[in-house]
Amino acid sequence: MTRAFSRAWEEILRPMIFRPKRLQVAALCYRKTDLGTDVLMITSRGTGRWILPKGWPINGKDGAESALQEAWEEAGVKKAKIQGAPIGHYDCLKNLGKGRSEIVQTLVYIAKVTKLSKTYPERHQRKRQWIRAEEAANLVREPKLQALLRQL
């Protein structure tokens, strides 16, 4: 009996309880100005709060490429130089709809933006704005993301 319980715990119950967090990727898009560093922020579609462009990894693309694709679709980033390795990560509560949500780990890739497009796929669904890095840190909820923004 003990062996059957142990096997059920290891093969069924433990993976269900301690499953790894789902993963998203975000693009921390920035530009340098005479006054400092600006971050390109967008509003979420659901709550309208200020966030970074982010989404699920895309098949056939690595994390940085996926993050840059999200920056195009959600914020109109046409040209940017993105680093291949994430500069950090943060956890956030992702609303999955129908009253469901889960904690998602988001890898953050930094991208120096050189060109924005006036037209892009989600332009009618979100607002976008360049915001000073210090101010952007005060607009987001996640402490680890606040720290990343303050490091710019």
DSSP per-residue letters across 22-55? EEEEEEEEEEEETTEEEEEEEE-TTT--EE--EE
Report the pLDDT value the prediction gives residue 37, as an integer from 0 to 100. Answer: 96
CB 68 within 8 A of CB 111: yes
Nearest to 94 by CA among 21, 27, 148: 21
Give every CB contact of residue 11 below 8 A, 6+ residues apart in sequence. none
Report the pLDDT value the prediction gives residue 18, as an integer from 0 to 100. Answer: 63
- In CATH terms, the superfamily for domain 20-150 is Nucleoside Triphosphate Pyrophosphohydrolase (3.90.79.10)
The helix (H) or strand (E) run that includes residue 122 is: none
Chain mean position to CA 8:
36
The helix (H) or strand (E) run that includes residue 9 is: none
pTM for the full model?
Answer: 0.84
Per-residue tens of pLDDT for the chain, all 152 residues: 677 777 766 666 665 666 667 899 999 999 999 999 999 999 998 889 999 999 999 999 999 999 999 999 999 999 999 999 999 999 988 777 787 788 899 999 999 999 999 999 999 999 999 999 999 999 999 999 999 999 98
Q: Where does 55-112 have alpha helices with state H? A: 63-75
